Amino acid sequence: SELDFVEIPCTAGSETHTHPISHEPAAVIRTALLQIEISNDISDTLLSHILREVSHA
């Protein structure tokens, strides 16, 4: 089945941003079936969750 959006649960952290937030992605993960754009302000925890899920896609 086709998914347009998948939510990955993650506990919000109390990180402070030391750089401006940009709408341009810092990195893009692409597979044959999906594309994930990642910004510089992503938390380590959320990035780990995304990479774990993409490896199973």
The pLDDT tens digits for 1-57 are 566 666 666 666 665 656 566 678 888 888 788 788 888 888 888 888 888 877 776
Three-class DSSP category at 28: strand
Tell me, what's the pLDDT at 42?
83
Cut 0.85: pTM above it: no
Tell me, what's the pLDDT at 38?
85
**50: which DSSP letter?**
H
How far apart CA 22 and CA 49 sit, in angstroms, is: 21
